[in-house]
Amino acid sequence: MTWNTASFWSTYDWKARGEEWSESWGGSEAQWFGSLFPRLHRFLPANRILEIAPGFGRWTHYLLPTCRELLGIDVSSDCVAACRERFRAARHASFSQNDGLSLTDAKDGSFDLVFSFDSLVHADIDVMASYVPQILQKLTDQGVAFVHHSNLLQFNGSIGTPHGRAPSVSARKIADLVKRNRGKILVQEMINWGGEDMHDCLTLFARDSHKAGQGRLIKNNRFMDEAFIIRDFQSVYSGSGLLDVVADGNDVAVSSGKGESDK
Ligand SMILES: C[S@@+](CC[C@H](N)C(=O)[O-])C[C@H]1O[C@@H](n2cnc3c(N)ncnc32)[C@H](O)[C@@H]1O
């Protein structure tokens, strides 16, 4: 799948740093505070965050003020270089390039949150089968992983490959991978993306030892309705107008997170 290769992302036109993908939410700031933060707030601030596939740092910008340390790992050297430049003033941030399969630069048992959004949706099952056990290894005892991935396999080829979603991955396959590797599912939220079909999934998982109770499976075919409400009624309160990108080197969002004093 070309969308999952370093060369595809190296030739991508990153001039808006991925802000263009937040259009349906009215910008990344509105999307973070209206859609992602409500799903993550129980786990933030975090001591250490591992972000898989940060791209040009669309979410890193919001994660950085909420942690003491952040490591971003991306398959593309251009993305790694761009994040290093964009967040050069954040001394608690580091970025490294990988082979698209391994997380060896991340220390085992040390991350309170592993985060990946709008990246691994293109990753086929071989990539997910490599990442899931490693993610579980990288987590602390009570750490959690929030991973956005494909659920296209559930449609058995009946809807083509919308938005470059990986056809070999489903919510169930990811749940099986988590369970087989001594992990537990906290939440799986199947979501629609762009259209009506729930070909995406947000999986929140942890090690078996995590104190959370019974996992929940949610079928949310109104994820885009949520996006449009955020765009139409919340984004007016956000400072990041669409494609209104600042190019300074001290690019870290303002919040009351504990990482703020580190800068
Ligand atoms: C659509 S961009 C999204 C970037 C960022 N998550 C965002 O939402 O703005 C996809 C990113 O995933 C990276 N990527 C794709 N496959 C990867 C893999 N197997 N491992 C690490 N990074 C990967 C690409 O290099 C690119 O930076």
Whether 231 shows a pLDDT value over 50: the answer reads: yes
53 CA: nearest ligand 1 atom: 22
Can you tell me which residue has the tokens 């964009």?
A: 86
CA distance linking residue 123 with residue 167, whole number of Å: 9
Q: What global pTM score does this model have?
A: 0.92
Is residue 248 in a domain?
no
Query: Which has more pLDDT, 196 or 246?
Result: 196
Rounded distance, CA 135 to CA 245, Å? Answer: 32
pLDDT of residue 137: 98
For the Cβ of 166 lying below 6 angstroms from any atom of ligand 1, the answer is: no
Cβ of 79 closer than 6 Å to ligand 1, yes or no, is yes
9 lines ligand 1 (CB under 6 A): yes
**Total domains in the fold of the chain:** 1
Name the residue with the closest Cα to ligand 1, atom 13.
Answer: 53
**pLDDT recorded at residue 141:** 97
The tokens describing 89, both together, are 């003033």
> In this structure, is residue 245 part of a structural domain?
no
Q: What is the pLDDT of residue 144?
A: 98
Q: Is residue 135 part of a domain?
A: yes
Amino acid at 181: N
CA–centroid distance, 211 to ligand 1, in Å, is 31
Residue 129 in contact with residue 120, Cβ under 8 Å? no
> Is residue 246 assigned to a domain?
no
Which of 26-40, 109-123, 238-252 shows the lowest per-residue confidence on average (mean pLDDT)? 238-252
Q: Find the domain containing 70 and state its range.
A: 22-238
Ligand 1 centroid to 149 CA: how many Å? 12
Structural domain contains residue 253: no
Convert the pLDDT of each residue in 80-117 to its tens digit.
Answer: 999 999 999 999 999 999 999 999 999 999 999 999 99
Write down the pLDDT at residue 105: 97
- Does 50 fall in a domain? yes
Query: Is the pLDDT assigned to residue 254 strictly greater than 50?
Result: no
pLDDT for 198 equals 98
For residue 114, the domain's CATH number is 3.40.50.150
79 CA → ligand 1 middle, Å: 8
Query: CA 115 to CA 108: how far, in whole Å?
Result: 16
Tell whether 17 is covered by a domain. no
What does the pLDDT read at residue 261? Answer: 33
Task: Report if residue 247 sits inside a domain.
Answer: no
